[in-house]
């Protein structure tokens, strides 16, 4: 097996090492980003749902930037929401701040019962720029 080409965002190595996973892996021209939640640098959740969504996107964008791309390069997005019946409208009111312009990436939204103290998680597959 080849060694994984891991992308780490600045200042969050300890968090990923503690939980034993890679934030993102480059492979065959794509970047596969692990689910990002609205965690502060110490790993604790933002209390307000809107802030949690913004922080999740900011954490995601830090990984994308470290790999030389941006959310504009996302081709597939999966979002996970605790209790989507009551949280979807709040979450989706924040999304346009980060989503960009059409054409949009594909998206799958999944309702879940548990996200380790978080209410929102986002993971993406992005196409890496040709030079990456």
Q: What is the CA radius of gyration of the chain?
A: 14
pLDDT digits (tens, 9 = 90+) for 38-65: 999 888 999 999 999 999 999 999 999 9
Distances (CA, A) of 34 to 22, 48, 86, 102, 116: 7, 22, 25, 24, 15
pLDDT at 1: 57
pLDDT of residue 13: 63
Tokens of 26: 């480059």
pLDDT for 131 equals: 63
Q: Is 40 helix (H, G, I), strand (E, B) or coil?
A: coil
Preceding peptide of 122 cis, ω within 30°: no
CB-count exposure of residue 20 (10 Å: 0-12, 13-18, 19+):
exposed
Predicted TM-score (pTM) of the model is 0.92
Per-residue pLDDT of the chain (132 residues; tens, 9 = 90+): 578 999 988 776 666 677 778 899 999 999 999 999 999 988 899 999 999 999 999 999 999 999 999 999 999 999 999 999 999 999 999 999 999 999 999 999 999 999 999 999 999 999 999 864
């Amino acid at each position: 097996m080849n060694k994984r080409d891991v992308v780490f965002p600045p200042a969050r190595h300890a968090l990923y090492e503690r939980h034993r996973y890679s934030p993102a892996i480059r492979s065959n021209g794509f970047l596969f980003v692990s689910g990002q939640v609205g965690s502060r640098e110490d790993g604790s959740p933002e209390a307000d749902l809107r802030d949690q969504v913004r922080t999740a996107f900011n954490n995601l964008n830090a990984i994308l930037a470290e790999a030389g791309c941006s959310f504009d390069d996302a081709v597939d997005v999966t979002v996970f929401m605790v209790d989507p019946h009551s949280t979807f409208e709040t979450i989706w009111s924040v999304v346009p701040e980060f989503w960009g312009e059409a054409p949009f990436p594909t998206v799958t939204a999944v309702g879940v019962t548990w996200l380790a103290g978080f209410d929102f998680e986002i993971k993406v597959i992005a196409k890496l720029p040709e030079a990456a």
